[in-house]
Amino acid sequence: MSTYSPPNQSDNPYIPFGDQRSAPFYNKDILSVLQFTRADLDYIFGVAHEMREMVTRVGTFDLLKGKILANLFYEPSTRTSSSFTSAMERLGGSVIPINEVHYSSVSKGESLPDTVRTLECYVDVIVLRHPEVGASALAAKYARKPVINAGDGVEEHPTQALLDLFTIVEELGKVDGLSVTMLGDLKYGRTVHSLARLLTLFDVNLKFVSPEILRMPPEIISELDQKGIPQSEHFSLEPVISETDVLYVTRVQKERFEDLSAYESVRDAFVITLQTLNKTKERMIIMHPLPRVGEISMEVDDDPRAAYFRQMEYGLYVRMALLAMVLGKA
Ligand code: NCD
């Protein structure tokens, strides 16, 4: 169900689908959620909404015809890389996929700055996923073309946070006043780091539920504190589940553990089942950035509160909006 209404065009200084090079984000990097204001979010979601209508009506159209995107992925990805590809192709542009950096000159020892300086000779925008914190900022420093952070190690995943927020708006019709519970690997999960930061623009109540060794990093807790966000930490879902409006479940990030026995000790700490649903509000949503590896039982998938498959679709429209914006066409 969609309850979000895009900004009234007569009130909106930006004309979606025009060639507005003075529009916000034209030629800008998308590196961190900290760069967004609430007005930016209204604008992005307004464009994403238009994108959804266009995809529903015509599927593919020529807004970015002739533009080329490099999808540079140093870490595995299914959703992020294919949704950026789909977004670019639905807008009439094309994509150079470098998903398996082992087959590129990276395996010969080429540095990230040299790789991006190479790619920008051939493309108009670079989408980068990298295992190191700060990699996208480094790439952006060297690239003259816009760089979009598609996940930099454990730090941030800003486009995921935008699509997560868009999902909340579309599904629940508002963000202010909601109680958002983040569950699972809050230490290494970059999606929850970005989403928690982005939610500081709203009047929300955050609850963090994790095993002791996977708590939300203290720097983020203190960032949220400084912004006056009510937050609490728990080691069990029980005390918070009944008041939760958004339950954001995450995978335990096995690849970030140095000690695999520590991973084994927490991998099955939380599993959402039909019994969990019995304790939730009637109107709430369960989200997950995916992939899941057992944290949500498949029996939950058919419940209307399970929003994680719809969440992936919202991601297409948000990424279409971002590409159109950074390339000056929204
Ligand atoms: C997430 C990621 O890569 O951080 N996946 C995604 O982009 N949808 C979450 C994860 O891998 O657990």
Q: What is the pLDDT of residues 208-267, one digit of tens each?
A: 999 999 999 999 999 999 999 999 999 999 999 999 999 999 999 999 999 999 999 999
CA of 157 to the centre of ligand 1 (A): 8
Residue with tokens 């390339």: 327
Helical (H) or strand (E) element with 130? strand 125-130
Ligand 1 contact, 151 CB (< 6 A):
yes
Supply the pLDDT for residue 70. 98
Give the C-alpha separation, 259 to 283, whole Å.
Answer: 40
Output the pTM of the full model: 0.93
CA of 159 to the centre of ligand 1 (A): 11
- For residue 272, CA distances in Å to 3, 43, 254, 300, 305 come to 27, 34, 19, 8, 12
Ligand 1 contact, 328 CB (< 6 A):
no
Cross-strand pairs, 126? 70, 147
The protein residue with its alpha carbon nearest to ligand 1, atom 11, reads 291
The protein residue with its alpha carbon nearest to ligand 1, atom 12, reads 251
Ramachandran sector of residue 180 (left: φ over 0; alpha: ψ -120 to 50; beta: rest): beta
Helical (H) or strand (E) element with 151? strand 147-152
Give the C-alpha separation, 89 to 66, whole Å.
Answer: 11
C-alpha of 92 from chain center: 23
Q: In what order do the strands lie in the sheet with 94-98?
A: 94-98, 68-73, 125-130, 147-152
Extract the tokens encoding 30. 């998308």
For residue 36, with 0-12 CB atoms within 10 Å meaning exposed, 13-18 middle and 19 or more buried, which class applies? buried
Q: Closest Cα partner for 125 from 72, 61, 203? A: 72
**Domains of the chain listed by start with CATH number:** 9-157+313-326 (3.40.50.1370), 158-311 (3.40.50.1370)
Ligand 1 contact, 83 CB (< 6 A):
no
Give the C-alpha separation, 20 to 22, whole Å.
Answer: 5
Extract the tokens encoding 62. 């020529």
- For residue 299, CA distances in Å to 219, 247, 276, 294, 303 come to 36, 17, 11, 11, 8
Extract the tokens encoding 101. 């950096």
Q: Is 180 helix (H, G, I), strand (E, B) or coil?
A: strand
Supply the pLDDT for residue 152. 96
Supply the pLDDT for residue 23. 73
Which ranges of the chain have pLDDT less than 50?
1-15
Supply the pLDDT for residue 105. 76
Ligand 1 contact, 187 CB (< 6 A):
no
Between CA 87 and CA 96, with CA 91 as vertex, the angle to 5 degrees is 60
Ligand 1 contact, 319 CB (< 6 A):
no
